[in-house]
Structure 1
Amino acid sequence: MMQAPPKHPTRERLKVPDEATPWKRHFSDFGGKIYLDCAAQGPFPSETIEAVRRALRLKEHPEEIPGSLYESLPGQAREAVARLLDCDPDSVALASGASHGLNLAARSLPLERGDEILLAEGEFPANVYPWLNRASDGISIRRVSPAAGRFVGEKDLIGAIGPRTRLIAVSHVAFATGYRTDVKTLGETCRERGIFLVVDGAQSVGAVDFKVSELPIDLLATSGDKWLLGPFGTGFTYIHPDILERLRVRDVNWMSVEGSSNLGEPGGGPLRFREGARRFDIPEAASFLNLHGLIASLSFLARVGIDSVENHTRRLHDHLIRGLDSARLRVASDLSPGRRSGILALEGSSHEHTRAVFRGLREHGVVVSLRDNLIRVSPHIYNTRADIESFLETAAGVR
């Protein structure tokens, strides 16, 4: 049962000095709770809140909306994403989340009856259901289990490639364990064998410092509401230039067509899609509320630096790991070089103990997630060592 530690230990009682980053002041106090759950939902920095308020005013006063905003706002978002990923803005399609990009890949890549798709066992449902939906077209879906241990890595996926394998879909970072796949090695093999590589970046983009231009990825889909600290219902899809023309446009919206902004001649021109990945934008991509918020969050992270985010979360993870004995928890993530991410997964001595610790943490205002019977800890730039001490003290009180 739960002993009675204070709900929110005061910093004066903590043995470890607070190492708050200068960025903490840009966020709320989370209602006095300890928020360690960015992998579920990232909070808005203050700059984003102000940007959304300005967007609300546009809807309150539509007479102030310039017609050019419908073109310029998506362009600004595309450029912000391109700076983050180190890619050409023309390779970026605006999305409502990772699911949009994964469905785009499943429906638009040239797959034929008899082709095989490989998925890692334990993938997040968003990277499973779009592919299962293709089974009715005669496409085979095969799940790959780990040869040993808990994690499905690139070696397992490469070893499972068969003569009909046409596509591999994998999470860059696994949502439950935080395991980071070496997509560079996997992508190089896929290129050699003519296999498409589709990557779910929902748990890596914004948490792991990488340049998509240096990775042999055909399509990278991600969400804006987690590590990117943007609005729910935002995201983007990176499409490698080499496959852009091989993707079929399945969903046509008027803004994806060349000359559509010329409303003096509506519907009068031929169907010619716009250049680049923007032809795959979600409909109504110029949503004021969503894009003003996303652009502000991406600009904030550009000032912080994703390398700073990754280094900061790594230090917090390390501090947590050093104190786990007192909490009677152990690490379930792979701590090998190159495998770590913004997610640290922990487990107790049994499933019951793990769930009891999770409930105790939640009851005492320490917000984490339970995924695959693992306690998932996912801090960001706003978290401090004091937050980690609160986690450890609370977890240690569970009996």
Structure 2
Amino acid sequence: MIPSQRHLFDIPDDIAYFNCAYMGPLTKTARAAGHGGIDRKSLPWTVAPSDFFTESEQARGLFATLVGTAADNIAIIPSASYGLAIAARNIPLEKGDKILLLEDQFPSNVYCWQQRARETGAEIVTLKSPADHDWTNVVLAAIDEKVAVAALPHNHWTDGALLDLKKIDAALRAKGAKLVLDVTQSLGALPFAIEEVKPDFLIAAAYKWLLGPYSLGFMYVAPTHQDGVPIEYNWLNRKGSEDFAGLVEYVDTYQQGARRFDMGERANFALMPIAVAALEQLLDWGITDIQETLTQKTRDIAARCADLGLTSLPDDIRAGHFLGLRRDGGLPKDILERLRTEDIHVSVRGSSMRITPHLFNNEADSDKLLAALKNIL
């Protein structure tokens, strides 16, 4: 168990923030790194050509370490939707193919597939939410010879319902189908290893569980797709771009590996230092220890909320960093506003009140949340 890390964040004692699935806060160190980057940009004569590459390569390497792969397999992207658009563009589809999605899946991992279905004649199959919330069995039952790709999360963004990606990956591979993952709502808090689950593409925005900046993310691209087609054509990811004097010698070749999919202006002098600091901190804590600590936090809250008539998914099918609380008859419509007036911050997604803590939460936060819920309910 990791002790409370609140001292590393600028969160006042009277704020109970249980909303990391909405947006993760920056550590003080990451914020200072961002300020330093802005200061450097205000003095452009101090920015060397090498600076366009050093920090982005450092961040690429740190993210690669996080998922257990080589830096060459990682692209730098501005958002989950950007990475998913690349995946959709580079997964072969034809008329009659099936694209598996989950009901109420986050829209960034839906819209791109709707467009590809219109373009190719492929069919989107939206899997209905199971009564027992066991998405794994639902996905496994849907995999047949016509499935070309499953576009999934590691856990559902509304209530944390967990998918067993090892089993799903094996079943897809047996049918020759592809796996595309949006792990924005899990990576950084839930362990993931490329050697255990081998997706074709894996995408994560940095601003939630990676505790990084908005408008920055990362994408794993399997080697078999690294000769694919990017969705923009910038100069920085071309071979030899380090030589600024030679940029007018236009080339068709790209830098090594997944770098061809990098967004333009990847060397963001304000955001990239934040990402580096955030990834370093996550790796220092250790993702397994983060998950174990957050699992205990959400388990304790769930047990105390049971006395208030609030129910949650069983531990064996719930990601430990997520707690979706439901109540027979539904939640009060004004529950968010009433909690917010007491400086308690959660979300409601679908029929669930989403409690998503991090290492900055302490026992006082939990006590404050439970006292408020008791008064409201």
Alignment correspondent of 1:394? 372
Q: Deviations over 1:45-88 (max 9, x none)?
A: 01101101110111111111121010112111111101111110
Q: Say which SS state the counterpart of residue 133 (structure 1) adopts.
A: helix
User: Would you say 1:43 and 2:28 are equivalent positions?
Assistant: no
Does 1:318 pair with 2:296? no
CA distance in 2, matches of 1:87, 1:74: 16
Note closer, same or farther for the CA distance 1:327–1:363 as it changes in structure 2 (3 Å cut).
Answer: farther
Aligned counterpart for 2:59 among listed residues 63, 77, 81: 77
Q: What secondary structure, in the 3-state scheme, does the structure 2 residue paired with 1:327 have?
A: coil
- The answer as to 2:250 corresponding to 1:265 is no
| Structure 1 residue 302, shift from structure 2 partner | 1.3
Equivalent residue for 1:349, pick from 325, 328, 335: 328
For residue 346 of structure 2, what is the aligned residue in structure 1? 368
Structure 1 letter corresponding to 2:321 = G
Contact kept, 8 Å, 1:47 with 1:300, in 2: the verdict is no
Output aligned runs, 1:297-308, within 5 Å.
297-308=278-289
Q: Residue in 1 aligned with 2:229? A: 248
Residues 235-270 of structure 1 deviation map (CA, whole Å, 9 limit, x = unaligned): 10011223323x323322111211223232333243
C-alpha distance in 2 between matches for 1:250 and 1:360: 44
> Which of 155, 165, 169 is 1:173 aligned to?
155
Partner of 1:120: 102
Report the Cα offset of residue 150 of structure 1. Answer: 5.1
Asked if 2 retains the 8 angstrom alpha-carbon contact of 1:144 and 1:152, the reply is no
* Percent of paired sites with the same residue: 28
Q: What secondary structure, in the 3-state scheme, does the structure 1 residue paired with 2:246 have?
A: coil
Matched to 2:201, the amino acid is: L
2:259 paired with 1:278: yes
> Are residues 1:34 and 2:16 paired?
yes
Unaligned ranges ≥5, structure 1: 1-18
* Pairwise CA distance, 1:152: 5.6
C-alpha separation between the residues in 1 aligned to 2:194 and 2:332? Answer: 36
Equivalent-residue separation in structure 2 for 1:325 and 1:187 (angstroms): 35
Report how far residue 354 of structure 1 moved: 4.1
1:142 pairs with 103, 125, 141, which one?
125
- When residues 321 and 266 of structure 1 are mapped into structure 2, their CA distance, relative to the original with a 3 A threshold, is closer
Distance (Å, rounded) in 1 between the aligned partners of 2:335 and 2:318? 26
**C-alpha separation in 2, matches of 1:297 and 1:223:** 13
Distance 1:158 1:125 in 2: 22
Report the AA paired with residue 219 of structure 2.
T
Normalised to the residue count of structure 1, the TM-score between the two structures is 0.90
The verdict on how the C-alpha distance between 1:235 and 1:275 changes in structure 2, with shifts beyond 3 A counting, is same
Q: CA deviation at 1:211?
A: 1.6
8 Å CA contact 1:94–1:237 kept in 2: the answer is yes
Conserved? CA contact 1:20–1:384, under 8 Å: no
**Shift in Å, 1:221:** 0.5
1:360–1:395 CA contact under 8 A, matched in 2: no
Shift of 1:306: 1.2
Q: Deviations over 1:142-196 (max 9, x none)?
A: 11114x4153623212222343221110111110010111111101111111101
Contact 1:347–1:354 under 8 Å retained in 2: no
Moved more, 209-218 or 290-299: 209-218
* Alignment coverage as a number of residue pairs: 376
- Please name the residue that 2:315 is paired with: 335
For 1:265 and 1:239, locate their aligned partners in 2 and report how far apart those are by CA, in whole Å: 29
Q: Hey, what's the Cα distance between the residues in 1 that align with 2:303 and 2:343?
A: 22
For 1:93-242, list aligned pairs within 5 A: 93-137=75-119, 138-146=121-129, 148-149=130-131, 151=133, 153-242=135-224
SS at match of 1:32: coil
Q: Which runs of 4+ in 1 moved over 6 A?
A: none
Amino acid at match of 1:335: D
Q: CA deviation at 1:115?
A: 2.3
CA contact (8 A) 2:298 2:320 kept: no
Aligned counterparts of 1:364 and 1:173: Cα–Cα separation in 2:
29
Q: Post-superposition shift, 1:389?
A: 1.1
Equivalent residue number for residue 5 of structure 2: 23
**Shift, 1:312, TM fit:** 1.4
Contact 1:204–1:341 under 8 Å retained in 2: no
Instruction: Give unpaired runs (5+ residues) of structure 2.
Output: none
Distance 2:136 2:4 in 1: 37
Deviation at 1:136, TM superposition (A): 2.0
Contact 1:191–1:216 (CA under 8 A) maintained in structure 2: no
| 1:194 to 1:323, Cα distance in 2 relative to 1, 3 A | same
CA distance in 1: counterparts of 2:211 and 2:238, whole angstroms: 31
Q: Does 1:380 align with 2:358?
A: yes
Q: Does the CA contact (< 8 Å) of 1:179 and 1:334 recur in 2?
A: no
CA–CA separation in structure 1 for the residues paired with 2:68 and 2:165: 17
CA distance in 2, matches of 1:77, 1:33: 31
Deviation readout 1:310-348 (Å, 9 max, x if unpaired):
1111111121122114433222x3422x63231100012
